[in-house]
Amino acid sequence: MKEISCKLLVIGAGPGGYVCAIRAGQLGVDTVIVEVGKPGGTCLNVGCIPSKALIHAAEEFEKVAHMAGCDSPLGISVTVPVLDLARTVAWKDGIVSRLNSGVAGLLKKAGVKTVHGWATFRDGKTVEVETETGMQVIRAEMIVIATGSAPVELPFLPFGGPVISSTDALALGEVPKRLVVVGGGYIGLELGMAFAKMGAKVTVVEALPRVLAQYDAELTRPVVKRLSALGIEVMTGAKAKGLSTKGDALLIETSDGKNAKIAADKILVTVGRKPVTEGWGLEQIDLDKAGRFIRIDDQFRTSMRGIFAIGDVTGEPMLAHRAMAQGEMVAEIAAGHKRSWDKRSIPAVCFTDPELVTAGLSPEEAKARGEIKIGVFPFAANGRAMTKLGEDGFVRVVARADNHLVLGIQAVGQGVSELSTAFGLALEMGARLEDIAGTIHSHPTLGEGFQEAALKALGHALHI
């Protein structure tokens, strides 16, 4: 049995874990990171990156298919395209592999020692790792738990056979003819829309009264319109009940209480994610919980001295960039720097078609704090959106009525994910409506909609 000691031990090499380890290494902290799989975690390997690759491929295929099926306003005509999904998946896997190697290289460059295997706590300072070459014991002054999350499995629809998770969906060798998506949240709609563009007949089953319920109805209206245009049937107020006896259909209860059956080749279950807290020996250290998650303070310290937790195991929002920011901060605390969590904004992006971006407070949340001003600018009046055939959507700015401090920014539209950085920066810097309105925005760009929304809130929009 081998034993090593270090100052900082990071368990999990996902976005939070590997950023924490890299930053700690840069600061001269003796750091070890443990990962049972490939570096990058869910996001890089079976989440953010591969799903965006598949979504992009689907968008490109749909564009070409549309040009083959009718007179394109762009004047382009092509023959009917053919999709080789296996080749698409291979391309996606190539991107993931390159990024895996990149993360591993960055860890090595920062002087971080990587141990491959499954870590289990012995006590608050000691972890044992089952590796291919035997048991490795690691003793550390400080430990960071960054074990991430996993798809929630429904007991009456266990994964296997025709029932697949988002991870399975990203590795399919062919497009299913009939795909039923259980869960109308962002993961289900992102993948459901992608497969619909690739030729699948898609049905979405959502128990709540509407899809994307975490967003306000005004923001999601363009997405709902696009779902219909893609031929996706959306069944709201409907509950999945189980798999048919033959395994070729999903049994549901409709919104009016009737039993029904939806034929399906694959059933994609996307009803949320859960923190990965089992199998790590956490019962040996008895950390306080906040529901299913590990309870932390504003420095990500757990209830046990010297043990930190970051990322999805600490609760919502389960976003890679939140975990990264947390990881960087913990590394600096480990190096003796004074840091605490004080973020005004963690932007969130939904990569549906069109895309959704939210940063800061929603109009409803802002109203609960006092009188507000709202400015909305539609992309139908934006030249760049017109030239990209993406006029559906808008930018919305929410600010205090008295001093015009910006409280929240939302957008829906083609490519608006790239505006999330500007939104987050404005909130983090404490921008007021006048700051945004007075900033010269490049023309023609979608970003002009941000300036115009601020102008609208101030009462003098220029282009509407």
3-state secondary structure string across the chain: CEEEEEEEEEECCCHHHHHHHHHHHHCCCCEEEEECCCCCHHHHHHCHHHHHHHHHHHHHHHHHHHHHHCCCCCCCCCCCCCCCHHHHHHHHHHHHHHHHHHHHHHHHHCCCEEEECEEEEEECCEEEEEECCEEEEEEEEEEEECCCEEECCECCECCECCEECHHHHCCCCCCCCEEEEECCCHHHHHHHHHHHHCCCEEEEEECCCCCCCCCCHHHHHHHHHHHHHCCCEEEECCEEEEECCCCCEEEEECCCCCEEEEECCEEEECCCEEECCCCCCHHHCCCCEECCEECCCCCCECCCCCEEECHHHHCCCCCHHHHHHHHHHHHHHHCCCCCCCCCCCCCEEECCCCEEEEEECCHHHHHCCCCEEEEEEEHHHCHHHHHCCCCCCEEEEEEECCCCEEEEEEEEECCHHHHHHHHHHHHHCCCEHHHHHCCCCCCCCCCHHHHHHHHHHHCCCCCC
215 vs 206: CA distance, rounded Å: 15
Q: Which residue has the tokens 């900033």?
A: 439
Q: Give me the residues paired with residue 130 across strands.
A: 118, 135
12 vs 273: CA distance, rounded Å: 17
Q: Is residue 264 within 8 Å of residue 164, measured between CB atoms?
A: no
Q: Which residue has the tokens 């399919």?
A: 172
170 vs 46: CA distance, rounded Å: 7
Phi, then psi, of 50 in degrees rounded to 5 = -65, -35
45 vs 165: CA distance, rounded Å: 14
Question: Which of 321, 404, 443, 463 is an active site residue?
Answer: 443
Is 66 among the catalytic positions?
A: no
Which sequence positions are flagged as catalytic?
443
